Structure 1
Amino acid sequence: MRMTALAAAAFVALASPAFAAPASVDISIAPEFQKKIDKTYGAREATLLTGDLREAVEKALARTPAYDGARIELTLVDAKPNRPTFKQLADKPGLSMESFGVGGASIEGRVVAADGTETPVAYKWYETDLRNAYGNWVWSDATWTFDRFARRLARGGELAQR
Structure 2
Amino acid sequence: MRLALVSAILLLGAAQPVLAAPAVSEVKVSIGPKLAEKVKDIGQRDFDILASQLQRAVERRLPPRPGGGTLELVIEDAKPNHPTPQQMGNTPGLSYQSFGVGGARIGGRYVDPAGKSTPIAYSWWETDIRWARYGSTWHDAEDAFDRLADRLAKDQFDDGSKPRR
Q: How would you bin the TM-score normalised by the shorter chain?
A: 0.7 to 0.9
Q: Secondary structure of the equivalent of 2:72?
A: strand
Match of 1:28 in 2: 30
Distance 2:115 2:85 in 1: 42
Question: Do structure 1's residue 43 and structure 2's residue 39 form an aligned pair?
Answer: no
Amino acid at match of 1:108: G
Structure ID, larger Rg:
1
Distance 1:134 1:55 in 2: 24
TM-score w.r.t. the length of structure 2 is 0.76
Distance 2:146 2:62 in 1: 11
The Cα shift of 1:133 comes to 3.9
Given that residues 134 and 141 in structure 1 are in contact (C-alpha distance below 8 angstroms), is that contact kept between their aligned partners in structure 2? no
Distance 1:146 1:156 in 2: 15
Q: Secondary structure of the equivalent of 1:111?
A: strand
Match of 1:11 in 2: none
The Cα shift of 1:40 comes to 0.9
Given that residues 109 and 120 in structure 2 are in contact (C-alpha distance below 8 angstroms), is that contact kept between their aligned partners in structure 1? yes
Distance 1:132 1:139 in 2: 13
Q: Which runs of 5+ in 1 are unaligned?
A: 1-20
Amino acid at match of 1:57: V
Given that residues 69 and 112 in structure 2 are in contact (C-alpha distance below 8 angstroms), is that contact kept between their aligned partners in structure 1? yes
Given that residues 26 and 73 in structure 1 are in contact (C-alpha distance below 8 angstroms), is that contact kept between their aligned partners in structure 2? yes
Distance 1:145 1:135 in 2: 17
Distance 2:68 2:62 in 1: 11
Given that residues 69 and 113 in structure 1 are in contact (C-alpha distance below 8 angstroms), is that contact kept between their aligned partners in structure 2? yes
The Cα shift of 1:91 comes to 1.3
Distance 1:70 1:53 in 2: 18
Question: More helix per residue: 1 or 2?
Answer: 1
Match of 1:54 in 2: 55
Distance 1:98 1:121 in 2: 35
Q: Secondary structure of the equivalent of 1:49?
A: helix
Distance 2:62 2:71 in 1: 10
Q: Secondary structure of the equivalent of 2:96?
A: coil
Match of 1:12 in 2: none
Distance 1:82 1:68 in 2: 38
Following superposition of structure 1 onto structure 2, how do residues 1-162 of structure 1 map, counting pairs within 5 Å?
22-36=24-38, 38-62=39-63, 69-133=68-132, 135-158=134-157
The Cα shift of 1:31 comes to 1.1
Q: Which runs of 5+ in 2 are unaligned?
A: 1-22, 161-165
Distance 1:159 1:139 in 2: 23
Given that residues 119 and 159 in structure 1 are in contact (C-alpha distance below 8 angstroms), is that contact kept between their aligned partners in structure 2? no
Given that residues 23 and 61 in structure 1 are in contact (C-alpha distance below 8 angstroms), is that contact kept between their aligned partners in structure 2? no
Instruction: Let me know the Cα RMSD of the aligned residues.
Output: 2.4
Distance 2:158 2:25 in 1: 15
